[in-house]
Structure 1
Amino acid sequence: MKRFLNIITFLSAAMALWGADLNPVANPEAVVTEGVVRITVLTPEMIRVEYSPSKQFEDRATFTVVNRNLPVPHFTKSEDNEFLYINTDKLKLRYRKGTNPYFEPNPPANLSITMELNGRPVTWFPGQGDGKNLKGTYRTLDRCFGDGYRSKLEDGLISRSGWAVIDDSPQCVRTDGSRSLALVPDETGVDWVAPRDDKQSLDLYFLGYGHDYKRALHDYTLIAGKMPLPPDYAFGYWYSKYENYTADDYRNIIKDLKENDINTDVLILDMDWHWNGDPDPNKSNGRGGWTGWSWNYNLIPDPTKLLKDIHDNGLHLALNLHPAMGVDASEDIFRGMADDMGLDADTTKVIPWQLEDKSFYKAFANNFLRPFEKQGVDFWWLDWQQHLTSPYTDGLGETFWCNHVFFNDMKANRSDRRPIIFHRWGGLGSHRYQIGFSGDTFINYASLAFQPYFTATASNVCYGYWGHDIGGHMWDSNYPVNDPELLLRWFQFGVFSPIFRSHAAIGTWINRKIWTYENFPQLNATVKLRYALFPYIYTMARKSYDTGVGICRPMYYEYPENDEAYVFEEQYFFGDDILVAPIVEPSVDGVSKKRIWFPEGNWWSVADNKMVKGNSIQILDFTLDQIPYFYREGAIIVNNPPEVKSTTERPAKLIVNIVAGKDGETTLYEDSGDSNDYDTRFANTRFAQKTTGSLASYTIAAREGIADRLPSKRAYELRIYNTDAPADGKAKVDGKEVKAEYDVSTRCTIIHVPSAKCNKAHEITVKYK
């Protein structure tokens, strides 16, 4: 009976890993085997090529690729005495039978794939360099000065050359020295690492999508897995500071945040929550401080009470971990772990950090993760930097493996909430673990200036959720650490970043308590703007899950044939309809000039309520209060009202910002915020605008889908920019005449739609002068 239950558990773990639409074994109809080479046609633009002298082709998941069972695209196979030919609707592959694609006699003659790019043929062969790759990301910005790490960015999944190649071969070394190993279902509920069968094999994925960059990213997520949707609270403001705060310090910070009306959703407890060094001779740690697994009772005498107080104030929390040095004999969890692992607790000095050892993982989860999570820890910040590769398992990257295990452990064991971790990039496949921590940057404009490019470019590997230390982390001797203007410009960029988290290094002289700054009203205005934009941001996060395109994305996704889209790298799209060009230099007398490229069409400048004509390069002035962000003409941007204090709220009134001048539509996505069934339980509300002559109509469709936690009735305030005054000061809402307000200074028509059941559609019409 026990064996039967174990089998059921194993099968359940396998189902949890692969799911209905995740299967590493390709459809046999998509596979062509020719001797020691196997070719799999995944999409019309994507082909996998394997070479294995022992014919041990890989049918398991790997760190990079977890699914190969896609609908079989149309393709043809033919051959002659010398070559095998495979043609899809987009690609033409030729392989010299019996050869190693890289050798015998040379790569172009052995294997080549030809495609068209803008009407001209382009041919790729193994080993071909690509100087036009648009790059991806890098594991950390620790100690990066300005754009000093630009050359370290890994290759991305898209290129101006029209093609990109994923080398998933066992011997291909990632930038951290690790390799893409195999993943197999396991009874723990976490798919486990395994060596590749043929370590000398070749395993390539050719992506020939031309300049259809967004389609390339979408199809990559078909084989590599989606970007999971983070819980709603992750998109709010995170208060974080590396400081040896006491429990009362945390309570006072919460009090100050509330008294100063600073919307906050996440509180981080940095590493001093645990014992550092030897603060108490009766509670010696002795592990050097960075790694620790026991509460520091000198600072936090009653952890359970503190965590309850944090939750009672409507906040979520994470603890910082540096899982580098293992578990020392002085740790509270040591004896329990030793017993679980069959070790002698009286003679063992240290249990080494070896997360790839299942016995270690089980003991660690049982003695540390579960008890701390029961106390109230919502998620973990893996501040991992010490070891890049495991000394125990050849080719295993510690960064990737920690991310993989912690995320999937939460997925398997905390079904009441969405899995989320805060971590560093560990190579391709890391997008499946969501939110990145970019590391310890310098407090200066140079660091700020690199982050818009760095953040948007990470979308080229589907790493859509970089979270930076807003304000910078560590002291630059050439620059003051508490410059109010620099902090403000960093916060303004933070509004239009995936994760909005302030932070800094230890030292009370570095201040992240924004309520103490002279420009606090301006700083807090950025926090208010972030919360106003939440419905739009969360909708775009859902689209990232569906499409593989990050919230922050480069301009060339939309305008791949415009050179300006590649040159103006400090500006980017924030979702589908907002163009952002952050200020990243100090002002002159409170005014900053910004050179911005505006693509075709027209763009509404939210900073000064003016329309900017597209297909132009302009130098515009911005005061300290102003952020250079622009709505696309025709855009509809749904906002929260000012009274909303948390991203977890679902208000009974929404503000709908509309830019008139062009027909347009959008869909508002909503769900319960922290459940795992968001794939099926969600609701959509469609908004549209259409203008014929002087008559404009605005539609709010009936809400469709499952409305968990959503109000049954809702009111709307339409703010329609770029309009003349309504002809008679009136509008019609569902056929009834209502007053239409008009603000001359902002050229904005305001119409109030009364509260009504959300299963009812609304039609609003206005005739303009």
Structure 2
Amino acid sequence: MKKNPIALAALCLLASSAFAQNAERRLESFAQNQNTLEINTSDGKYLIRPYSATVVETAFIPKGEQYDTNSHAVVLAPEALATTLKDSVTSIEFATPGIVVTVQKSPFRISYAYRGQPLVSEKLGYTRKDGMQAIEFNLDQDEALYGAGARAVGMNRRGNRFQLYNKAHYGYGNRSELMNFTIPMALSSKRYAIHFDNPQIGYLDFDSKKDNTLSYETIGGRKTYQVIAGDKWEDVMASYTSLTGRQPLPPRWAFGNFASRFGYHTEAETRATVDKFIEEKIPLDAIVLDLYWFGKTVKGTMGNLAWDKDSFPNPQKMMADLTAKGVKTVVITEPFVLTTSSRWEEAVQRKVLATTKDGAPYTYDFYFGNTGLIDLYSPQGREWFWNIYKDLKRDGVTGWWGDLGEPEVHPSALQHATGSADQVHNIYGHDWARLIAEGYRKDFPNERPFILMRAGYSGSQRFGLIPWSGDVGRSWGGLQSQMEIALQMGMQGLGYMHSDLGGFASAVLDDELYTRWLQYGVFQPVFRPHAQEEVPAEPVFRSERAKSLAREAIRLRYAMLPYNYTTAFENSQSGMPLMRPMLFEEPQNDAARSISGAYLWGKDFLVAPIVEPGATRKELYFPAGSAWFDFYNDQRHGGGITEALGVVPEHIPVFVRAGAFVPLAKPAQSTNDYSARQIDLHYYHDQSVSASSGKLYDDDGATAQAYEQGKYELVRFASSLQGRELLLSLETETGRAAQVAERGYNVSVHNVAARPQRVLLDGRAVKFSWNAARKLLQVSVPARRQLSAKLAVSL
């Protein structure tokens, strides 16, 4: 191969920078210190250590620099692993039971393999590039890439260069290259991920130059990354969320319906809205108050963070009355304190604000007025802010909405206690969520917080942060981008990404768009219609037809609480997202790598949102390996094929996997009235399924760490098909501190082609019904404590 003289000259020039190019980097010595491989080079030191057999970290410390051990993302303690170190003439091999790290001696290069299969390799190690520190990796020609935070650019994100700078995108549609969550992480279709463990601003380039290169550039900070690998996508999700932390189970009411708009101006309006939902028999669990709760105007009042008593004369009684009706109160807060705010002087005197280099409060203009910014990195800022939350909590506020937390405007010259604005910009929302989560653990340790945030970072899920996709346009394009955003964020640990249902920005009145968005909302993490108030976001104020369709969608959302809550529990234990991309089902299928228009909801639902106006047909690929049943009419569809489906206004296409157990409940007006003591358990029988399993998780819906404390019930379901006998079992596992109650089941077995000869419950014949038209068998299992039951169906 011919050498490029221009490239060689550039390499020589860069070799004189703070740390050299690989061409100048020489291995000088190496040694294993406990479970860490230490490599000394001509320009610095490498530390390579495994956290587990599937996670390995590599850090580079240039000569003259100190190793920064502080990670904002990683919480996992490294395991004590059996590792091997082999030295040869050309390389060093450092092996865990899973990942093998090979260090080529000359030229110096690090590469990674998993179970004998190559994953990825560095090109030149850390270098200087255009005033930034950078590292590049070699990519295979055909691997797809995911990650880099919340974007809407297509499911396979290879070919894009992404800025790492959390920034709002008002009114976006079907494409957005920069949004509120920019996460320094790349995931590959080869089932590995690279997490760059540094929050400072920069770029993540997914082979935009088409030269098979993944590159990461930043203004400074740690030169540390982790490689995560797995046999299956489930393994990659489990390992990454073990590394950065898992999402605690939210309160059960968070899975209900929210009333929200920008915004409710008065106590009277707030009360009337809640009463309207009750009158219309549309379930409701929370009402969200935008910035009018602390001021009468949009501009000039931010930072007051206290009830405007003219508009809300008795907020404590209002919240108590709403609670009695089963409705929680969520209020907006922002990290900005305007110079016109009633708290400005207090914030200045208590030194809670970010500063200039001279130590004075840094003030600047943005949309809402002239402002300062709370310094979350100073003890004074944290204490002041948390005390406001604590007082509001004691008054009756149940949930928190953190808005503008990128922060929306964050001048580079602004100084925080731990560094400049650019150094902490991408972790500001992350540390804001941390403030609330840690405050709850200290002052309200038995309660689960609800923390809705617009910006965050790697690992923000461990604080219970619930992200949303920002100020999406009220348009079909806005709806079209939501599945991709949610799926990608779930792959990056933030499994509760959701959207302002119906769209937020612009005064568009489109009932078809609105109902299709809400029908999609049933099968995504948080059901929260929200919009600018020119057109109502709440179904109770829409046309009769839209209201009727919305009511049915919301009632289905409540019926699905047992399934959804169980899926959320699984996320808290394994890191598997609630919304799962098709590539998880078929990792070897090239076409599945790019699908975002259909997805899995939990383990067993296949969902195909309608995202175009006037649609009468929907083309859908059914994943191979399973048959699929229409959730609404039980029609069977084979796996591994694409079909054109008819579309109806009443619902979007939804299918259930053959062999699935789906627990449902009777819809309630709020989760206060919800009961899982009588479950409608649906089993989707198919001759292709010889055995399957499922579960139902239940607790009180409110206690923090209920599972860890043993305050739960977990019911395991199993099926076995032996010849013409179908066996179904239900077995209850009870936590050591659970208050055990009776639970009964109305069991529906789908796809039973002929009337069964008999049905036995624990060996005794029981009554059953069979619907020939629907091929549906129904039988009751009476309520018992700590149920252990076996159904035998003679087909």
- TM-score greater than 0.5 by the shorter chain: yes
Q: 1:200 and 1:353, CA in 2 relative to 1: closer, same or farther beyond 3 A?
A: closer
- Letter paired with 1:79: D
Aligned residue for 1:453? 484
Q: Is 1:89 paired with 2:97?
A: yes
Q: Secondary structure at the match of 1:405?
A: helix
Of 393-402 and 219-228, deviating more is 393-402
Q: Is 1:273 paired with 2:302?
A: no
Give, in angstroms, the shift of residue 705 of structure 1: 1.9
Aligned residue for 1:561? 588
Deviations for 1:279-312, whole angstroms, at most 9, x for unmatched residues? xxxxxxxx62444313222321111111111111
Q: Where in structure 2 are the equivalents of 1:404-415 lying within 5 Å?
A: 404-415=434-445
- Letter paired with 2:99: L
Q: Is 1:137 paired with 2:142?
A: no
> Pick from 407, 424, 428: which aligns with 2:454?
424
Q: Is 1:202 paired with 2:223?
A: yes
Deviations for 1:649-681, whole angstroms, at most 9, x for unmatched residues? 333211101101123111211122121232232
> Pick from 196, 206, 209: which aligns with 1:167?
196
Aligned residue for 2:552? 525
Aligned residue for 1:214? 234
For the residues of structure 1 that align with 2:98 and 2:252, how far apart are their CA atoms? 40
Q: Where in structure 2 are the equivalents of 1:723-734 lying within 5 Å?
A: 723-728=752-757, 730-734=758-762
Give, in angstroms, the shift of residue 352 of structure 1: 5.0
Q: Is 1:608 paired with 2:633?
A: yes
Q: Secondary structure at the match of 1:426?
A: coil
For the residues of structure 1 that align with 2:603 and 2:563, how far apart are their CA atoms? 10
> Residues 544 and 550 of structure 1 are in contact (CA less than 8 Å); yes or no, is this contact kept in structure 2?
yes
- Letter paired with 1:653: Q
Give, in angstroms, the shift of residue 603 of structure 1: 0.5
Q: Where in structure 2 are the equivalents of 1:209-248 lying within 5 Å?
A: 209=230, 212-248=232-268
Deviations for 1:582-624, whole angstroms, at most 9, x for unmatched residues? 1111225xx3433333322200111221110111011111211
Q: Is 1:469 paired with 2:507?
A: no
Aligned residue for 1:30? 35
For the residues of structure 1 that align with 2:340 and 2:146, how far apart are their CA atoms? 48
What's the % identity of the aligned pairs? 22
Aligned residue for 2:394? 374
> Pick from 322, 336, 339: which aligns with 2:334?
322
For the residues of structure 1 that align with 2:279 and 2:694, how far apart are their CA atoms? 36
> Residues 260 and 515 of structure 1 are in contact (CA less than 8 Å); yes or no, is this contact kept in structure 2?
no
RMSD: 3.1
- Letter paired with 1:417: E
Q: Secondary structure at the match of 1:540?
A: helix
Q: 1:373 and 1:122, CA in 2 relative to 1: closer, same or farther beyond 3 A?
A: closer
> Residues 338 and 351 of structure 1 are in contact (CA less than 8 Å); yes or no, is this contact kept in structure 2?
no
Aligned residue for 1:295? 307
TM-score, normalising length: structure 2? 0.80
Q: 1:412 and 1:82, CA in 2 relative to 1: closer, same or farther beyond 3 A?
A: farther
> Residues 329 and 398 of structure 2 are in contact (CA less than 8 Å); yes or no, is this contact kept in structure 1?
yes
Q: 1:58 and 1:222, CA in 2 relative to 1: closer, same or farther beyond 3 A?
A: farther
Aligned residue for 1:110? 108
Aligned residue for 2:316? 304
For the residues of structure 1 that align with 2:277 and 2:314, how far apart are their CA atoms? 22
> Residues 84 and 95 of structure 1 are in contact (CA less than 8 Å); yes or no, is this contact kept in structure 2?
yes
- Letter paired with 2:721: T
Give, in angstroms, the shift of residue 159 of structure 1: 0.4
- Letter paired with 2:321: D
Q: Secondary structure at the match of 1:631?
A: strand
Aligned residue for 1:194? none
Q: 1:467 and 1:715, CA in 2 relative to 1: closer, same or farther beyond 3 A?
A: same
Q: Is 1:581 paired with 2:629?
A: no
> Residues 241 and 512 of structure 1 are in contact (CA less than 8 Å); yes or no, is this contact kept in structure 2?
no
Q: Secondary structure at the match of 1:422?
A: strand
Of 264-273 and 405-414, deviating more is 405-414
Give, in angstroms, the shift of residue 445 of structure 1: 1.3
Aligned residue for 2:469? 438
Gaps of 5+ in 2: 1-31, 126-135, 151-165, 205-218, 354-359, 364-370
Gaps of 5+ in 1: 1-26, 98-104, 176-197, 279-286
Aligned residue for 2:25? none
Q: 1:690 and 1:509, CA in 2 relative to 1: closer, same or farther beyond 3 A?
A: closer
For the residues of structure 1 that align with 2:675 and 2:64, how far apart are their CA atoms? 56
Give, in angstroms, the shift of residue 407 of structure 1: 2.9
Give, in angstroms, the shift of residue 626 of structure 1: 3.0
> Residues 443 and 472 of structure 1 are in contact (CA less than 8 Å); yes or no, is this contact kept in structure 2?
yes
Q: Secondary structure at the match of 2:424?
A: coil
> Residues 281 and 669 of structure 2 are in contact (CA less than 8 Å); yes or no, is this contact kept in structure 1?
no
Aligned residue for 1:188? none
Aligned residue for 1:74? 82
> Pick from 679, 683, 701: which aligns with 1:658?
683
Q: 1:388 and 1:405, CA in 2 relative to 1: closer, same or farther beyond 3 A?
A: farther
TM-score, normalising length: structure 1? 0.82
Give, in angstroms, the shift of residue 201 of structure 1: 5.1
- Letter paired with 1:357: S
Q: Is 1:65 paired with 2:74?
A: yes
Aligned residue for 2:275? 255
Q: Secondary structure at the match of 1:447?
A: helix
For the residues of structure 1 that align with 2:754 and 2:242, how far apart are their CA atoms? 49
Deviations for 1:611-648, whole angstroms, at most 9, x for unmatched residues? 10111011111211132111110100111124574177
For the residues of structure 1 that align with 2:666 and 2:373, how far apart are their CA atoms? 51
Of 79-88 and 519-528, deviating more is 79-88
Aligned residue for 1:10? none
Aligned residue for 2:729? 699
For the residues of structure 1 that align with 2:237 and 2:341, how far apart are their CA atoms? 48
Deviations for 1:6-49, whole angstroms, at most 9, x for unmatched residues? xxxxxxxxxxxxxxxxxxxxx96321223322110222332211
Q: Secondary structure at the match of 1:381?
A: strand
Give, in angstroms, the shift of residue 157 of structure 1: 4.6
Q: Secondary structure at the match of 1:207?
A: strand
Q: Secondary structure at the match of 2:437?
A: helix
Aligned residue for 1:622? 647
Give, in angstroms, the shift of residue 471 of structure 1: 0.5
Count of paired positions: 685
Deviations for 1:410-457, whole angstroms, at most 9, x for unmatched residues? 333221301331002322222223300211111111111111121112
For the residues of structure 2 that align with 1:605 and 1:55, how far apart are their CA atoms? 64
- Letter paired with 1:215: D
Aligned residue for 1:361? 382
Of 261-270 and 506-515, deviating more is 506-515
> Residues 198 and 222 of structure 2 are in contact (CA less than 8 Å); yes or no, is this contact kept in structure 1?
yes
Aligned residue for 1:634? 659
Aligned residue for 2:409? 387
> Pick from 184, 187, 194: which aligns with 1:158?
187
For the residues of structure 2 that align with 1:171 and 1:296, how far apart are their CA atoms? 38
Of 716-725 and 398-407, deviating more is 398-407
> Residues 276 and 288 of structure 1 are in contact (CA less than 8 Å); yes or no, is this contact kept in structure 2?
no
Q: Secondary structure at the match of 1:409?
A: helix
For the residues of structure 1 that align with 2:541 and 2:149, how far apart are their CA atoms? 30
Give, in angstroms, the shift of residue 124 of structure 1: 1.0
For the residues of structure 1 that align with 2:147 and 2:273, how far apart are their CA atoms? 40
